[in-house]
Structure 1
């Protein structure tokens, strides 16, 4: 352990964020220091069910139902604003204020779209370009992952 400086308070704070948000991994880096905390998911135990009678066949729908676009696909959308960090998204500056932006609103480059709280610090997420907010992909209070699409601006 020589030469290694561990900030136990920072590790506890990151572990608390994991617990509060339900995330499984978080990482912070500052200068030459880097802390990564990973929480293993709870083991899943398979339940052994007694032999069951096969269910009656169900008729297939007449028209195929399109699956919603996967978040990974939205992250590659040319107008996607992706999360630069792990944290909790807030769409309003405070609970009694209106949201920073709404769907259909025209925004300018540099305009604040939302806040992401990470380690008790609120970070402004700004529009990288001017355009119209086509879709808000998170709700206020939602935990967000690094690289997760937050907003689509076209």
Structure 2
């Protein structure tokens, strides 16, 4: 009968990475061993305000419906994250960003970096165009498929 060995220190380290980065899931694999740590999303508490006393019935004004929030990952010019990690807009904190909004970019030009498992991965422009919008902040955790920038 085989015996399962659990590396508690590795699990603690992965859990700490989840906490530090705000990610909800992380997995590592080495040879025949695989460790996956998933953190449940914290429940959101909704405060219900107490009803205000009504003095007189005001005439109700028509309210325009709120515009739906567009899923920017579906935008035709969206460059999405190919992985989970931490995004950086510059090669280091003292350097200028790789690109800025309004800048012309060439196909294959580095737009940003995503750090995953201590490895920095270059995210390159899939095509030439104008960088119309940067949707993330430097040092922000990103998820797979999340829209990072828009190229028009």
TM-score after normalising by structure 1: 0.75
Deviation at 1:68, TM superposition (A): 3.8
Query: 1:15 matched to which residue of 2?
Result: 15
Between stretches 10-19 and 113-122, larger displacement belongs to 10-19
Between stretches 14-23 and 53-62, larger displacement belongs to 53-62
Q: CA RMSD in A?
A: 3.3
1:16 is paired with a residue whose SS is helix
Gaps of 5+ in 2: none
Separation in 1, partners of 2:126, 2:88: 18
Separation in 2, partners of 1:65, 1:138: 24
Deviation at 1:38, TM superposition (A): 0.6
Separation in 2, partners of 1:30, 1:127: 32
Q: 1:43 to 1:115 in 2, by over 3 A?
A: same
1:132 is paired with a residue whose SS is strand
Query: 1:39 matched to which residue of 2?
Result: 39
Query: 1:133 matched to which residue of 2?
Result: 131
Number of residues paired by the alignment?
149
> Does residue 1:114 correspond to 2:115, yes or no?
no
Separation in 2, partners of 1:82, 1:116: 11
Deviation at 1:46, TM superposition (A): 7.7
Matches within 5 A, 1:5-154: 11-27=11-27, 35-43=35-43, 52-54=50-52, 56=54, 60=61, 63-69=64-70, 73-154=71-152
Separation in 1, partners of 2:100, 2:87: 14
Gaps of 5+ in 1: none
Separation in 2, partners of 1:126, 1:9: 36
Between stretches 117-126 and 30-39, larger displacement belongs to 30-39
Q: 1:126 to 1:45 in 2, by over 3 A?
A: closer
Between stretches 75-84 and 54-63, larger displacement belongs to 54-63
1:75 is paired with a residue whose SS is helix
Separation in 1, partners of 2:30, 2:75: 30
Separation in 2, partners of 1:64, 1:46: 22
